[in-house]
Amino acid sequence: MNHHPDVVIEVCELDHAYGSKIVYQGLNLQLLRGSVFGLLGKNGVGKSTLIKILMGFLAPQKGVCRVLGEASHDLKPATRERIALLFEGFISYDWMTIAQIERFFSAFYPRWRKQIFYELMSQMDVELQRKLTDLSCGQKSQVILGLLLAQDAELLILDDYSMGLDAGYRALFIDFLKDYLEGTDKTVLITSHVMSDLERLVDQMTIVAGPEQVHHSTMTDFCRDFRCYQADCPPSASSRIHRCEQRQGHYYLFSFADQKLLEQELSQPLKEVSISFEDKFLGFAGKY
């Protein structure tokens, strides 16, 4: 398989299963350089499995998974140097102080940008001699973000950055990340359960709803095209309706179809409802 220099992550015909439970079947995915890519899905649909495969902790059972042109489960040290990983739950060396952990990681990365780390630290009212274990979850997230950004990697894989963070720290995280990415061609793969944050950050995304229910799109296209309509009586069956929910005596239809087209097909009036990205995501992936 030829590697295009602008393709940072490439997944071709990926199959993966845990016993008889199929997680992915023929998954294809491409991340282009400079994109901020959201990997979205409910719990248990295989987000973590894909992240593990991309991080190199799981070998694909079938298919190809390349990161920066190399097989993801066999990355050379020089390639690992170009990838920054954020592990779910902000896993780090909690017994180190802020200064010590910066010193530790700086030893491995020749392009280490110390000033970025300390710039981010300066925004927190915290002493550099404090151990990570003594920091709040939010403060720790900033330290780890600082470490990731100081690495000056080409690709950042951020697995559930929002876990345990309140709205303020989530916003700080996203804002700093956005500022950092501004004007660069760095690529980001991000997962989160907080959709409102992602809406501000992500430009491309994949929603995983099941082994064969994978939707690739840009954030703009998805937010524009995926709509929610309210109906007063039960709609007849249609392939254009992605999902139908009944709440408080009304029927809510989720669809990529235009309102007029859908009204014609269903032969009933519909009223478009304005909903958030999170509700659209739930409309696509389902609540349970």
Please report whether residue 59 would count as binding other proteins according to CB under 8 A. yes
Size of the site for other proteins (CB under 8 A): 26
Give min distance, CB of 107 to other proteins, in A. 4
Q: Per-residue string for binding with other proteins, 21-40, x by CB under 8 A?
A: --------------------
Please report whether residue 56 would count as binding other proteins according to CB under 8 A. yes
Give the nearer residue to other proteins in terms of CB position, either 75 or 253.
Answer: 75
User: CA dist 188 to 8, 196, 250, 260, Å?
Assistant: 10, 17, 40, 38
| Rounded Cα distance, 197 and 172, in Å | 11
| Rounded Cα distance, 23 and 214, in Å | 11
**Residue 150 structure tokens:** 């100081």
Give min distance, CB of 93 to other proteins, in A. 6
What's the count of helices (H) and strands (E) in the chain, helices before strands?
10, 14
What strand order describes the sheet that includes 271-273?
A: 241-247, 250-255, 227-231, 271-273
24 phi/psi in degrees, rounded to 5: -130, 145
* From 107, 125, 183, 249, residue interacting with other proteins (rule: CB under 8 A): 107
Q: Which of residues 87-106 bind other proteins (CB under 8 A)?
A: 87, 89, 91-93, 95-96, 100, 103-105
Please report whether residue 128 would count as binding other proteins according to CB under 8 A. no
Give the nearer residue to other proteins in terms of CB position, either 191 or 204.
Answer: 191
Pick the stretch among 3-11, 15-23, 84-92, 275-283 that binds other proteins (CB under 8 A).
Answer: 84-92
| Rounded Cα distance, 176 and 184, in Å | 14
CB 128 within 8 Å of CB 120: no
Complete DSSP assignment for 125-163: ---TTSBGGGS-HHHHHHHHHHHHHHTT-SEEEEE-TTT
* From 33, 80, 130, 243, residue interacting with other proteins (rule: CB under 8 A): 80
Please report whether residue 73 would count as binding other proteins according to CB under 8 A. yes
Which residues of the chain form contacts with other proteins (CB under 8 A)?
A: 55-59, 73, 77-78, 80-81, 83, 85, 87, 89, 91-93, 95-96, 100, 103-105, 107-109
